[in-house]
Structure 1
Amino acid sequence: MADARASSFQKATQMAIEQSKGEGASTYAVSSYNGSLLRNQIIETHHSDELTFALKPVLDIIEVIFSRTTTDLHGNVQVFSSQASLANEKVLYSGHQDILVELPIITAAVSREVFCNWFKGVAAHNTTMDILHIIKHYSWDAKLVLAVGSFAMSFGGFRLVSELHSTNPIAKAVALLKNFPQTLELAGILKSMLEAIFLVVKAILDMTKSVIELYELSHNEYFTAESPEIIAATADIPTAVYWTIQSTVDCASQIMSLTAMDPEYLSKSWELSSLAHKLEMIRSQLVKQINLCYKFIEKKKDDEIFNSMARVLETSHIDNSISLNLLFREKDGSQPMLYDCLHQNLVPIEDLKGKVVGLYITDLNIVSEDYLILQQIYPEKLDDRNRIENQYEIVWIPVMDNWTNDKYWQFENLRDQMEWLSVRHPSQVALQVIRYIREICNFVKKPLLVVMDTDGKIVHKDATQMMCIWGNQAYPFSLAKEMSLWQQRNWTISLLAEGIDQYLPTWIEERKHICLYGGEDMEWIRSFTRTAKAVALRCGIELEMLYAGKNRSRERVVKKMINVTQRERLSKALEWKLISYFWLRMEKMCVSEPPPLAIPEEEGVDDEFFMPDDLYFVAPAQGKMRHSIFTGIVNMLSFGSSSKGWAVISGDTEKMLFEADGELLLKALFEHEKWKERAENDGFVRALEIYYHQLCNDLPHCISLILSDTELKGISCAACNKPMEKMVKYSCCTDRASFGYD
């Protein structure tokens, strides 16, 4: 009878197992479901998010179970970090029992559903949907923790019995009731299957963590429910929850099948491995969305800091201490230090308190015309530190995208060749400061001199041209000061040649006629200087002449002209460096912003004001005899681009000034007899100018204007006042260094 009962029980059990492994119970049958249809079915099971609980402690407990149980029957395989396990085990002694009161009710219901459906042979998909209905009032992350927690309890119980049955009588008794001895005898056969289950368990836990992390991000202060980032990130959560819960169902089914089992009723290990892979694929998409959310949060925080910094730098304070500390604060919070390039020692930031600070921003390709001129101007302040216009300091801030050891070496080498201050090290400059330099100051590659006043406010985004034009007279280097300087100037010999020669101030004071001239045609130079002196002598005027070379000239050629001019005593001549500075200053004037203003109004003559149009300058109205500063500068650059020759002549009053093409001017001097009577009435310069323009109208001419990296609209010819046609010139000499600083 006993044998009959045993046989009957074994037959019933066998039938239950066979039914559970029937066609309808295929774990992967749902893989053929249309994706959108499946997602709609999953979402229909979700009624509300009204129920939730403290997920983190429960997740920590689950991880303790998984990390302690994912070893094979001989304790050789482990897929979880032991350090993570020890850290999470603190939750076991943290007194979270109050938040776990209702948890067993739900997890028991889930476990019962899994067991009953397995025994009835219900498909894993249907079991998963039933579980989702049980927990329909919980949020998606809470659903996942409940389902995974339910599986963790059954998986943990299975592993406790399998590990303790040989040493613990209670575990032994349970093992006998569960028919574990027969199961354990097949340990070698089951090894690969168990290892596959462990991989799925790890994938389940990883997915649960990612879903919880994503839900926490969705409630971050930088997001709303309508944020595109959150909508995109949470779109795949229902599907991820579904497949994770189904994975717990599949693993639980495998464990329950171990009771009175035959290996043929177990899934193949590769099927479980493919399930783990599927979870990882789904999770990888969630991780991408999580990373995008973190990047968004990081950008929002970065924007907040950046906007706060911009407000500080664009607001006046008691002094400049706040702004200086913001710019040069060390990343570790230590005392910010700057480097004195001249004396090669560190200086405290307090040394800049109460001073105007120019932030010289460049990359490591620093040798440019602006840099070389600043190097010439800066030492003037060192000679007399007490003068008000010398109460400023320049700090070099190198900006590069990718710093390497070679670039750091290059930085130190360049730093030691300077005379002003520098940041101690490029890493000292915060990323927010670099962003401000790029976005607000518009630094790309061209060097900038950003000026901060004594109150810590940025007052000029680029005073490079201003300093090159006016030198230390431009102190305190603000836009208001730049406008003031232009308003105080007329088109005079003083503006044209300010600071380039020691004799000029004396000549102007003595009301002498002054002629600046240049070119690279030695025969023209000889003829022009001798003729001009002869005509001046006949007219009874004192004429001083000064050779100023040619725009964009070669050092070797111009030095040859200087030597011949001085050797033959044709006139005085500027040094080569001053000639290069003279023309560079002229170019800076041409493209400076704000633009050069017209000369003040005089009786019977209308003013000409040249205002910028989309950052470009509008040319003067045609037909006007009166030249503005801008027109005069353009004319000088036009004539100075010719190798034949050019000249500008000033009368005995500074307001009498006109610029001319060399060949036409020489012809006008040769024909002095035709305009000498007018000279007696109107003055030498005025009469010569009128006759010169008559020649311009009568004789053919060709005048060009070369400017680097700039656009000027509506430029008129310096000789005939007709609009000039814009052309493109290609040259291998693209920087000032090749014109004279080599």
Structure 2
Amino acid sequence: MNVLERGESPMPMFTTITNLIEVMLDLTHCIIRFKELSEQYISLDTPELVTATTHIPITVYWMIRSVVTCSSILFNLIGMGHEYELSSLAHKINNIHDHLKHHLDLCNRHVEEKKHIEAYLTLIRIMDTPHLDNIKPLKHLIYLKDDQLPLYESSTKNRVSIDVLKKKIVLLLISDLDIPTQELSVLDQMYREARENPTRPESQYEVVWLPVVSNPRTTPWTTENQIKFERLRNMMHWYSVFHPSLLDPAVIKYIKEVWHFNHKPLLVVMDPQGRIVNTNGLHMMLIWGSVAFPFTKHEGRSPLERGNLEDRIKDEKYICIYGGKDMEWIRKFTTTAREVARQAEIPLEMLYVGKSNPREKVLKCNNIIRAESLNYVLPDSSAIWFFWARLESMLQSKLRYGKSTDEDDPILREINVMLTYDGNDRGWAVICRGSKEWMRRANGDTVLTSLDSYEEWRDEADERGFLPVLNERVEANRPPHHCNRLILPGSSGRVPETVVCGECGRLMERFFLYRCCTD
């Protein structure tokens, strides 16, 4: 009545009391959540929980004091004089709530980390355990929530059950949202061929795209990301997870740490019993296509040795493969090589393969060579990329079969040398006849100098053979000082322990190189 007699409104006081009650309720809920923390994942001696627990008694004291004060004021309604006290109590309770909420967040983070570790270890156990079929491993890889259908079928635009993969060979395509179009097109071509001939043994597999983003449950998922994801998903003719959030953080950790995913796409092969038989069949696919089915690790010799690619070269013709992006050298080399072949009366075919990263300069060289009819060229940038991708895939395949150095493996040594030349901007060339007669690879200046002096060794070549004598000239013309380099992408997978220089035969030193994608 005292307030009403003075003509003052009680509403400001009621507002202050309401604010205090709200912060008390928030604080109460916060204390309750501490009690709800699972002892399975957080013990009573966890530092974050110990710190919070020591503050709870004083918190309860201030809660009781606030309740008594509110009760007294509401009971007596004794004027505006206690509004300051109410605001002070609300401020105090709010500060206590913020402090406890901070420690509650730390405890929840601790619990999530424990759950994450447990899920990760469970996944390792599941993937290493024999099963009757592949459903259980797949369900642990792809998170199932509320019995929702986890897979998306591009051809029908429908969600489907994971049971469509039961007892099938499953190729798990793992990438981020920046999957290179070249790898995608090669896999797409192979998959289309399999679907067109479904009765063939090598067609008995399915592909599932697992898009790996940093952490799809905590990282903000933008509209731009969703558009990009859906565009990629609709480009693929195979299955995809319906959304990247269906990959648990523990699964992403497993993919990165066990399967060694590092930006570059992987094609992990799971057999009908759920066993991982190859952590990256992409290299075999690039080399062999559908012939690589079922993409398992072969016993004994590697596929490179079981079916030598060199046998496809016609024995009666000389084949010259060369690369680089110096158009002036290309003109000199092709003109000289064709003239020497004419004088030596040997059938020579030449193919320009550019560089592994066919940017503007390489494509320009390709167009000039085609326009001037200098020799054969690969039809487009995809074909150029595919040539070098197969070389790198051969390297990875060799390393996967336990070859760590090129000293005892001639194929690995040749691949390393080819990739070494690609790491330099200058031209290079190799000439072969059939699968047994080869000119040692040489840089552009060396091979051009050797061909320029053809008149000096022409008679000897007529007597002993063109390539044996050319090899001797190449060796004699190699420069005493040189600097070769082998550049492999940081995400390419395994790397050789040692690499021998293609020029002098000495072991090359290993350095770290960081560079932008310059042309």
What is the TM-score normalised by the length of structure 2? 0.77
Contact 1:196 1:270 in 2 (8 A): no
Name the SS for the 2:84 alignment partner. helix
Match of 2:56 in 1: 237
Q: Against the structure 1 CA distance between its residues 580 and 560, is the aligned structure 2 distance closer, same or farther, given a 3 Å change threshold?
A: farther
Name the SS for the 2:209 alignment partner. strand
Cα distance between partner residues in 1 of 2:141 and 2:449? 60
Cα distance between partner residues in 1 of 2:133 and 2:469? 56
Is 1:661 the counterpart of 2:475? The answer is no
Aligned equivalent of 1:583, options 364, 388, 395:
388
Match of 1:100 in 2: none
> CA offsets per residue over residues 315-355 of structure 1, 9 Å max, x none?
332122223344456533044443144x7666654443333
- Residue 636 of structure 1 and its aligned partner are, at CA, apart by 1.9
Q: Against the structure 1 CA distance between its residues 695 and 198, is the aligned structure 2 distance closer, same or farther, given a 3 Å change threshold?
A: closer
- Residue 525 of structure 1 and its aligned partner are, at CA, apart by 0.6
Match of 1:370 in 2: 183
Aligned equivalent of 1:524, options 313, 333, 352:
333
Contact 1:515 1:649 in 2 (8 A): yes
Contact 1:524 1:644 in 2 (8 A): no
> CA offsets per residue over residues 250-281 of structure 1, 9 Å max, x none?
5677789x6xx9x69x9633123312321232
Q: Against the structure 1 CA distance between its residues 640 and 190, is the aligned structure 2 distance closer, same or farther, given a 3 Å change threshold?
A: closer
Is 1:505 the counterpart of 2:312? The answer is yes
What is the TM-score normalised by the length of structure 1? 0.56
Cα distance between partner residues in 1 of 2:300 and 2:458? 40
Name the SS for the 2:390 alignment partner. helix
Match of 2:42 in 1: 223
Match of 1:557 in 2: 365
Is 1:214 the counterpart of 2:31? The answer is no
Q: Residues 415-434 of structure 1: matches in 2 within 5 Å?
A: 415-426=233-244, 429=247, 433-434=251-252
Aligned Cα root-mean-square deviation (Å): 4.3
Cα distance between partner residues in 2 of 1:648 and 1:437? 40
Cα distance between partner residues in 1 of 2:102 and 2:514? 50
Q: Against the structure 1 CA distance between its residues 634 and 281, is the aligned structure 2 distance closer, same or farther, given a 3 Å change threshold?
A: same
Q: Residues 424-503 of structure 1: matches in 2 within 5 Å?
A: 424-426=242-244, 429=247, 433-434=251-252, 436-438=254-256, 440-443=258-261, 445-478=263-296, 480-481=297-298, 484-485=301-302, 488=305, 494=309
Cα distance between partner residues in 2 of 1:287 and 1:514? 77
Contact 2:17 2:86 in 1 (8 A): yes
Match of 1:398 in 2: 211
Is 1:717 the counterpart of 2:475? The answer is no
Cα distance between partner residues in 2 of 1:700 and 1:434? 47
- Residue 449 of structure 1 and its aligned partner are, at CA, apart by 2.4
Q: Against the structure 1 CA distance between its residues 457 and 672, is the aligned structure 2 distance closer, same or farther, given a 3 Å change threshold?
A: farther
Q: Residues 409-420 of structure 1: matches in 2 within 5 Å?
A: 409-420=227-238
Aligned equivalent of 2:399, options 562, 580, 595:
595
Higher relative contact order (CA 8 A, sep 6+): 2
Q: Against the structure 1 CA distance between its residues 419 and 524, is the aligned structure 2 distance closer, same or farther, given a 3 Å change threshold?
A: same
Q: Against the structure 1 CA distance between its residues 661 and 249, is the aligned structure 2 distance closer, same or farther, given a 3 Å change threshold?
A: closer
Is 1:317 the counterpart of 2:317? The answer is no
Contact 2:313 2:434 in 1 (8 A): no
Match of 2:82 in 1: 268
Cα distance between partner residues in 2 of 1:216 and 1:433? 27
Is 1:353 the counterpart of 2:166? The answer is yes
Aligned equivalent of 1:648, options 430, 436, 441:
430
Query: Counterpart of 1:488 in structure 2: which amino acid?
Result: E
Q: Residues 149-228 of structure 1: matches in 2 within 5 Å?
A: 191=10, 207-217=27-37, 220-228=39-47
Match of 1:84 in 2: none
- Residue 432 of structure 1 and its aligned partner are, at CA, apart by 5.2
Contact 2:52 2:100 in 1 (8 A): yes
Q: Residues 287-366 of structure 1: matches in 2 within 5 Å?
A: 287-328=101-142, 330-341=144-155, 349-366=162-179
Aligned equivalent of 2:410, options 610, 624, 628:
628
Q: Against the structure 1 CA distance between its residues 338 and 651, is the aligned structure 2 distance closer, same or farther, given a 3 Å change threshold?
A: same
> CA offsets per residue over residues 33-76 of structure 1, 9 Å max, x none?
xxxxxxxxxxxxxxxxxxxxxxxxxxxxxxxxxxxxxxxxxxxx
Cα distance between partner residues in 2 of 1:280 and 1:729? 51
Structure 2 unmatched runs, 5+: 214-218
Cα distance between partner residues in 2 of 1:213 and 1:700? 72
Cα distance between partner residues in 2 of 1:207 and 1:573? 74
Q: Against the structure 1 CA distance between its residues 287 and 677, is the aligned structure 2 distance closer, same or farther, given a 3 Å change threshold?
A: same
Match of 2:216 in 1: none
Is 1:277 the counterpart of 2:91? The answer is yes
Contact 1:451 1:463 in 2 (8 A): yes
Cα distance between partner residues in 2 of 1:715 and 1:353? 44
Name the SS for the 1:647 alignment partner. strand
- Residue 632 of structure 1 and its aligned partner are, at CA, apart by 1.2
Q: Against the structure 1 CA distance between its residues 575 and 282, is the aligned structure 2 distance closer, same or farther, given a 3 Å change threshold?
A: closer
Identical-residue share of aligned pairs (%): 31
Q: Against the structure 1 CA distance between its residues 235 and 549, is the aligned structure 2 distance closer, same or farther, given a 3 Å change threshold?
A: same
Contact 1:325 1:336 in 2 (8 A): no
Match of 1:387 in 2: 200
Query: Counterpart of 1:352 in structure 2: which amino acid?
Result: L
Query: Counterpart of 2:302 in structure 1: which amino acid?
Result: L
Structure 1 unmatched runs, 5+: 1-181, 496-503, 538-542, 598-608, 612-617, 621-625, 735-742
Cα distance between partner residues in 2 of 1:593 and 1:469? 9
> CA offsets per residue over residues 4-25 of structure 1, 9 Å max, x none?
xxxxxxxxxxxxxxxxxxxxxx
Match of 1:104 in 2: none
Q: Residues 116-135 of structure 1: matches in 2 within 5 Å?
A: none
Query: Counterpart of 1:555 in structure 2: which amino acid?
Result: L
Q: Against the structure 1 CA distance between its residues 308 and 185, is the aligned structure 2 distance closer, same or farther, given a 3 Å change threshold?
A: same
Cα distance between partner residues in 1 of 2:175 and 2:284? 17
Contact 1:313 1:456 in 2 (8 A): yes
Name the SS for the 2:98 alignment partner. helix
Name the SS for the 1:456 alignment partner. coil
Cα distance between partner residues in 2 of 1:241 and 1:557? 79
Q: Against the structure 1 CA distance between its residues 238 and 713, is the aligned structure 2 distance closer, same or farther, given a 3 Å change threshold?
A: same
Query: Counterpart of 1:547 in structure 2: which amino acid?
Result: L
Aligned length: 498
Q: Against the structure 1 CA distance between its residues 685 and 406, is the aligned structure 2 distance closer, same or farther, given a 3 Å change threshold?
A: same
> CA offsets per residue over residues 95-138 of structure 1, 9 Å max, x none?
xxxxxxxxxxxxxxxxxxxxxxxxxxxxxxxxxxxxxxxxxxxx
